[in-house]
Every structure is written in structure tokens, then in C-alpha cells.
Homo-oligomer: A and B are copies of this chain.
């Protein structure tokens, strides 16, 4: 993967907050011309440093106001079934994030739903479709304190 310089880092810091900002405005902030910024953006998109540019929307308007954090235990034996699980997950729109972790549970998922009833349906389906999952510990999110995907760009 291509190396990035000081200007790239600054640009990444900006577009992680607002990727619709005009190249000229970014240029003013980082001390570069609009052309140079555009070139760098194109290079970072093409090389995969920028993996996606997405809109965040109001969950209530989308009809999925609730969030749940599910800790899951899986059977050690067939934990190679993860690849199949991955394929299955890609199609599950309500399951936003899944992490394979160390600790008291094996997987942690962040799931969005209309209400508790719908969450129940989702987890019931999750367990029936993926028998390697033995147990689910649920935390209901009462309040989003901070939500983001921002990653600091180290110098």
C-alpha cells in the first residue's frame, strides 16, 4: 500500500468528518491548491486508503430507533464456519457491525431494530441459521453517547 504524507493525513482527518467538503475548502485548510487535493483524493480512493464514502442518517426516521449489542458464544470446534457466517452476515441489514473478540464472548455484534420484538426475531433467526452460535447475551442501548467511525491518523 502506498505511503501517505503529511498532507494526505490532514485530508483524511477532514473527509472523515465531511466528505462533501469542496476541494478548494480542503485546500485552504491544509495549504494546497484545489487541484492537488483532488489528485490526492483520487489516488487515495483508487488505492483503497479511502474505503468508502457514506451518509449517516437519522435512525428514528429510518424506522430503526433501537440499538442492541449482542455478545455471542460459539462452539470452538467449528469456528472455521466463520467464513460462511460472514457471507450470511453480509445480507443481514439489521446487523451493522460484528467483531470476533477475545474474552467472555467470541463475537460481539451491533444490531439495529424497530423495537425489542423485531430484535427478538433477528436473534432467533440468527441462531437458527447459524447453529454454531450457542448463546447470546444482549445489552439494550438506552442512549447513544457517541457514534462515529473516525480513526485518528497518526503522524
Residue from A48, A57, A143, A153 with most neighbouring chain B CB atoms (10 Å): A57
What band does the interface of chain A fall in when counting residues whose beta carbon is under 8 Å from B?
35 or more
Chain B residue with Cβ nearest A149? B56
Cβ-defined contact, A152 with B94, below 8 A: yes
Copy number in this complex? 2
Cβ-defined contact, A55 with B58, below 8 A: no
A147–B89 alpha-carbon span in the complex (Å):
11
Please, which residues of chain B bring their CB within 8 A of the CB of A55?
A: 12, 15-16, 19, 50, 52-53
Q: Taking the complex as formed, is A51 at the interface, i.e. its CB lies under 8 A from any CB of chain B?
A: yes
Please, which residues of chain B bring their CB within 8 A of the CB of A101?
A: 69, 139-142
Contact of A93 with B152 at beta-carbon distance under 8 Å, contacts A16-B54, A52-B56 already known: yes
Q: Pull 29 A–B residue pairs with CB atoms less than 8 Å apart, ordered by A.
A: A16-B55, A18-B52, A19-B55, A49-B61, A52-B55, A62-B152, A63-B153, A63-B154, A64-B151, A64-B152, A93-B150, A96-B146, A96-B149, A98-B144, A98-B145, A98-B146, A99-B141, A99-B143, A100-B141, A100-B143, A100-B145, A101-B139, A101-B141, A102-B139, A103-B137, A103-B140, A105-B139, A108-B139, A112-B152
